[in-house]
Structure 1
Amino acid sequence: MVTREAAPGLQKVSVLTLTGLVVGSMVGGGVFTLPQEFGTAAGVIAAVIAWTIAGTGMMMLAFVFQSLAVRRPDLDTGMYSYAEAGFGSYLGFNAAFGYWASNVAGNVFFMVLTMATLGEFFPSLGDGTTVLAVAVASVVVWVFHALIAQGVRQAAVINRVVTAAKLVPILTFVVVVALAFDPTVFADNLWGGRTHTAGAVFEQVKSTMLVTTFVFLGVEGASVYSRLARRRGDVGRATVTGLLSVLGIFVAVTMVSYGVLPRGELADARQPSMGAVLESVVGGWGTTFVSVGVVVSVQGAFLAWTLISAEILYTPARDQVMPRFLARTNEHATPILALLVTNLAVQALLLVSLVIENALSFMLKLDTALVLIPYLLAAAYALKLTVTRETYGAQDEPVRRRQQRIAVLAVLYALFLLYAAGVEYLLMACIVYAPGVVLYVVARREQHQRVFTRAEALCCAVLVAAAGVGVVLVATGELRL
């Protein structure tokens, strides 16, 4: 959710500007990996179905966040506040912790993608997970840490060049590759395999769900822009227009790639695979052109998400949901300990990437699996409001019914994503979530409050047990990283 650049005194803006903000918050590093990710998982038919499901589901989630911003404007401190208001302190804490952890995994994805991109020109960096690549990435992490520690305003200025850096190569890619589109190659990629059955297509669709969700992360930021709109209705129009624009970009990148390379070659393409596809059409400069865009875009995204990640720890700490030490700031008003904990976690996960078979894909899917619980809880809270009729008057009945249908669809979409994630990534998510209980216990004791209700204790026990199973399976090799 790259939204905190906006200054508090920013003037009201037009629908077009709001739409640009929505697009900018969602188009990130993941789009550059789409040809290979889809080439590995699906054919054309499954890809069309997957993008239809993802576009519809994310639209429902966007509407959920928009309606919650209107119905509960007092809950303006992040997704965790919705989970806490609807389902208690422990689930509220987990929404905050899980959202933060997902951002950490996302930042590691950004660093690995950057090193893999530079590996095209400096072979010793390999696929982004060689010892040298991790060392260089670590240096970059702590350089950004020092920059942000000197003041958020100074660091945020750098992020303003990112939008052009990512949109120019993406749009150029779509146009150039579309001109080389071969209907025969596209037709050969139609089914994505030899088995032309509904079951095979469904499995392909399921395999793409975490990828499609990853590239849409940031959809929750649309509701934040409501305070910038000239009219409340502009937010809804900007949300729809922005989401459809982003969906159009993602679908275009995927489909034109199917028209120039066989699925097998897409699956084997080096990441960022958009460069490999463009190179197959125009020659070597295609990889260089995309690579420059990737490095600038992804490093800008890393900066922005590091700022947000620190805020995700700082704000709940200020609200006494996290331990109070995370609310400490330095002389530049930077949440310095929250920033330090965030970058230590990024550093630790970078070291883990040394032993992961396909770190880029793993971090992408782990990031998405971690954020599904906060998304599900927010959607469930929106549904709860429509059921209890809280915040709805008698005159709001048509609105309530419409928003109830939207919330039901958003909940079902989030549940389907949990199913599509599979046991592997759900257990990995539990391994990440479980240690958070230590922070929760510290925070509750600082406030001299009861740590768990019976229901929360049961929830915690299930989570820790699942994490234990995951650790055992990893240790025995049954669950491969």
Structure 2
Amino acid sequence: MSSKSQIGLTALTALVISSMIGSGIFSLPQNMAAAAGSQALLIGWLITGAGIMFLGVSFACLAKLKPDLDGGIYTYARDGFGDLMGFFSAWGYWLCTTVGIVGYLVVAFEGIGTLVDTPDAVVFGKGNTTASFVGASAVAWLVYALVAHGIREAAGVNLAATFVKVFPLLLFIGLAAYFFKSDVFAADWSGASLATPENPDTSLMTQVKNTMLITLWVFTGIEGAAVLSKHAKSRADVGKATVIGVALTLAMYVAITLLAQGVLPRAKIAAMANPSMAGVLAYMVGGWGKVLITVCLMVSVLSSYLSWTLYATEIPHLGAKNGTFPPSFIPLNKNEVPQGSLLFTTLTVQLCLFLVWQTGNSYSALLMISTSMILIPYLLVGAYLLKLSFTQKLAPKYRLIGAAATLYSLWIVYAAGTEYLLFSVLLYLPGVLLFLYSQRKHHGGWRFNGYEKAVLLALVVLAVPAVMKFVESLGA
């Protein structure tokens, strides 16, 4: 790999941080306050903190154990569980990133709307108006041009944007620590006031489980350095960037949510409009706080859009090199960027923006689609390390890390519930058609072993209740 596309440790770490700190962090105070009391919040972060660190360390371990595998989340699944599961991991991750970055554009223009829209003149609305569609489309193609110019250049822009968006978050944490009152934090310790006639279950386990659904989204991006591993100046930097990035981001997430519930009562934060960080900061410092957080939100989501575009471009390219995506995604342009894969991703973003504009869907609908697709790819990473620890008779620490990451991923799948899993089935089915087409183009026919045939059969069987559930949701 030439110096044109090499990325250093600092830029890799910034990519990991920027990937995770997108839009979710600005809504965390309200999201968590609506889901749990202070006790469940502490337990939820304890489980999440341990689980996400084990998942991050799993990426670091695999980067060390398998330095020849480029692309991380896809190649680990393929090497461990075969072509079909590798494709499902790649397809699920690609859909997660692509639909997720559409959500970033939508929420960015919604943020602009909070500053310029009035009740009599709604220009950007919830990011789904004509003006938002035109503006988001322009940004998508500007980022296309930037990434096409070179991976290293795009990573450099992202590094600068990461510093810009992290500063206001640190300011919020400092002010919240100053305004924090322990009696306010402990006032709704058990979360009893969460109970409503529609949702009477406020048990501790239910509250903790509900926090898991939120953290599932805000931590996507943990794999950023692994996905771009072939562009790293040093393979050792991949593991370091992942662990450092996850640790710093986790610290900010925990501080923002816990301190906010000590500034204002839980119920008051839960009733806030998002981005709720703006409301909490406005309470502490006045109206300029809302403007600062809103501007920070827009910088944050746009820089995250850039970093996630890099990931979404890399995965189909690597899949094509291994015969699971069409061969047209293999060639690189003069700047060593997979142009076909980048174009495919940007055209998909453009199509999704068009659908958002025509259907009026908001960021929350896109978030549901994106999170449902990341469940299996993360599970396969922990499972791959666990498998290696047995097959290669590695040191016990690898078995522990792999087992812990796998258990955490299974817990997230359980917390997500059957609705998420069934919805993801519907999105995996079109991917099967692409996989079959790619197999014929690369190999002249389809190649499946007995295990893969069983997986495909299970997917077809699950499609029946998935379609029924989808139709039921449309009726509701």
State the match for 1:443 in structure 2: 438
State the match for 1:320 in structure 2: 323
Local SS of the residue matching 1:148: helix
Written as runs of structure 1 = structure 2, the 5 A alignment for 1:164-243 is: 164-194=163-193, 200-221=203-224, 240=243, 242-243=245-246
More displaced, 144-153 or 56-65?
144-153
Does the CA contact (< 8 Å) of 1:62 and 1:222 recur in 2?
no
Cα distance in 2 for residues equivalent to 1:98 and 1:289: 35
Equivalent in 453, 457, 460 of residue 453 of structure 2: 457
Write out per-residue CA displacement over residues 116-150 of structure 1, whole angstroms, 9 at most, x where no aligned residue. Answer: 21121122222333454344323322332244345
More displaced, 342-351 or 96-105?
342-351
Does the CA contact (< 8 Å) of 2:148 and 2:339 recur in 1?
yes
Change (3 A) 1:358 1:265: farther
State the match for 1:58 in structure 2: 52
Equivalent in 336, 356, 367 of residue 364 of structure 1: 367
TM superposition shift of 1:7: 6.0
TM superposition shift of 1:336: 2.6
Write out per-residue CA displacement over residues 48-88 of structure 1, whole angstroms, 9 at most, x where no aligned residue. Answer: 11111111111111222222222222222332211112211
Local SS of the residue matching 1:477: helix
Residue 252 of structure 2 is aligned to residue 264 of structure 1 = no
Cα distance in 2 for residues equivalent to 1:149 and 1:239: 25
Q: Could you tell me which amino acid in structure 2 is paired with residue 277 of structure 1?
A: V
TM superposition shift of 1:159: 1.9
Change (3 A) 1:448 1:468: same
Local SS of the residue matching 1:112: helix
Does the CA contact (< 8 Å) of 2:35 and 2:207 recur in 1?
yes
RMSD over aligned CA atoms reads: 3.2
Runs of 5+ in structure 1 lacking a partner? none
Change (3 A) 1:328 1:10: closer
Change (3 A) 1:32 1:407: same
Cα distance in 2 for residues equivalent to 1:262 and 1:152: 45
Cα distance in 2 for residues equivalent to 1:148 and 1:463: 35
Q: Could you tell me which amino acid in structure 2 is paired with residue 334 of structure 1?
A: V
Equivalent in 466, 469, 476 of residue 473 of structure 1: 469
State the match for 1:414 in structure 2: 409
Change (3 A) 1:201 1:368: same
Write out per-residue CA displacement over residues 211-263 of structure 1, whole angstroms, 9 at most, x where no aligned residue. Answer: 21322223234567796569x6x877775554333222101110121123333
TM superposition shift of 1:189: 3.5
Cα distance in 1 for residues equivalent to 2:89 and 2:6: 30
Cα distance in 1 for residues equivalent to 2:84 and 2:283: 51
Does the CA contact (< 8 Å) of 1:61 and 1:220 recur in 2?
no
Q: Could you tell me which amino acid in structure 1 is paired with residue 307 of structure 2?
A: A
TM superposition shift of 1:26: 3.6
Does the CA contact (< 8 Å) of 2:15 and 2:159 recur in 1?
no
Local SS of the residue matching 1:202: helix
Does the CA contact (< 8 Å) of 2:7 and 2:155 recur in 1?
no
Written as runs of structure 1 = structure 2, the 5 A alignment for 1:273-312 is: 273-312=276-315
Local SS of the residue matching 1:450: coil
Identity of aligned residues (%): 38
Cα distance in 2 for residues equivalent to 1:74 and 1:449: 28
More displaced, 360-369 or 58-67?
360-369
Written as runs of structure 1 = structure 2, the 5 A alignment for 1:238-257 is: 240=243, 242-257=245-260
User: Alignment length, in residue pairs?
Assistant: 464
Change (3 A) 1:24 1:107: closer
TM superposition shift of 1:406: 1.5
Cα distance in 2 for residues equivalent to 1:173 and 1:479: 42
TM-score between both structures, scaled by the size of structure 2: 0.87
